[in-house]
Amino acid sequence: MKILLAQPRGFCAGVNRAIAIVNQALELHGPPVYVLHEIVHNTHVIEELQGRGAIFVEELEDIPRGAVTIFSAHGVALAVKERARALGLRTIDATCPLVSKVHHRVSRLNERGYEVLVIGHKGHPEVEGTCGHARGRVHVLSRAEEVAALAVADPEKIGYVTQTTLSVDDTRDILQAVRLRFPRISAPERTDICYATTNRQLAVRRLADRVELVLVVGSKNSSNSNRLREVAAHQGRAAFLIDQADEIDPGWLEGVRCVGITAGASAPEHLVSEVVSWFAARGEISVEEMAGEEESISFQLPDLRV
Ligand code: 2E6
Ligand code: F3S
């Protein structure tokens, strides 16, 4: 079996930062440290941090007064920060700086009296956090077909932001429909889809062109990982999202001689190595890493002394 590895794949700068924040907060303050929502959407990362003393909750009310509390990389609404303060929690914000940038843009648009379109997946925590930075009217838009039904007060005073992990191709279509209906929209030069999302989608497209089957390592609730699987499927390849090697169905491999592997921005590299080992245990393999975009971006940690 020939195995091709996409490049870049796996952890992005925001995920590295968020996981480092939890680890260092555990060292500095001692366990337990509470995290509102999964720090990143990966079951293995969560289990590992739970083993060190992190406690993941979905409600602030489940955190004892005075406890160290970390907001996940996906960001939270302003109301959540205010509520945490009222509950007497000692908070650390692990929101990815590229998500925070989107939050600031939403606030600025509202201050100027603009309504905000948030292009993204309804119910995703990043979208909820982004919408929660609007102090005026905000609309979530998931598909181009929804544009026609949008009711806005003043078509001259609207702006948009996007979720950071969207499909580059789908977003282009949605924005085309938005610009057609609102030609005077306050539009940035580019979307808020982040560098990591863009690079991983480009890499998996190139990978899919060279293999018969694509495996994306990532958890089922990871938006960016799901998009990678879709990009590969869109190229006409069989493509599956797996949390770990034991989810591989040998039936997928019938007649397959070349497999491509990539990983979502929240999936640790050791899981990719385990998938490669899974193949090695079943026969002779050759492994090639594709050339791709170099990534050198990293983010500083916030002050953890709370
Ligand atoms: C925060 C913002 C964007 O589901 P999604 O892809 O958003 O999240 P993760 O945790 O799988 O990926 C990292 C991330 C965090 N992306
Ligand atoms: Fe941030 Fe993009 Fe990663 S928004 S958490 S760098 S996927």
* β-pair type (213-217, 238-242): parallel
Per-residue pLDDT tens digits for 97-154: 999 999 999 999 999 999 999 999 999 999 999 999 999 999 999 999 999 999 999 9
Q: Is the CB of 223 under 6 A from ligand 1?
A: yes
Bridge partners (DSSP) of residue 158 are: 115
Q: Is the CB of 126 under 6 A from ligand 1?
A: yes
CA end-to-end distance (rounded Å), the chain: 52
Q: Is the CB of 15 under 6 A from ligand 1?
A: yes
Q: Name all domains of the chain by residue range, CATH numbers in brackets.
A: 2-11+194-289 (3.40.1010.20), 13-96 (3.40.50.11270), 98-181 (3.40.1010.20)
Residues near ligand 2 with C-beta < 6 Å?
Answer: 12-15, 73, 96, 98-99, 164-165, 194, 196-197, 224, 265
- Cα angle 5-263-104, degrees, rounded to a multiple of 5: 130
Which of 161, 165, 168 has most ligand 1 atoms within 8 Å of CB, for mutation?
Answer: 165
Give yes or no for a contact between 157 and 113, defined as CB atoms under 8 angstroms apart: yes
Average pLDDT on 56-62 reads: 98
Confidence of residue 202 (pLDDT cuts 50, 70, 90): very high
| Ligand 2 atom at minimum distance from 224 CA | 7
Ligand closest to 76 (CA) is 1
Catalytic residues: 126
Across all residues in the chain, what is the average pLDDT? 97
Ligand closest to 129 (CA) is 1
Average pLDDT on 226-232 reads: 98
Helix (H, G, I), strand (E, B) or coil at 187: coil
- State pTM to two decimals: 0.98
**Ligand 1 centroid from CA 74, angstroms:** 6
- Cα–Cα distance, 120 to 110 (Å, whole number): 18
Q: In this model, does residue 188 exceed pLDDT 90? A: no
Ligand closest to 45 (CA) is 1
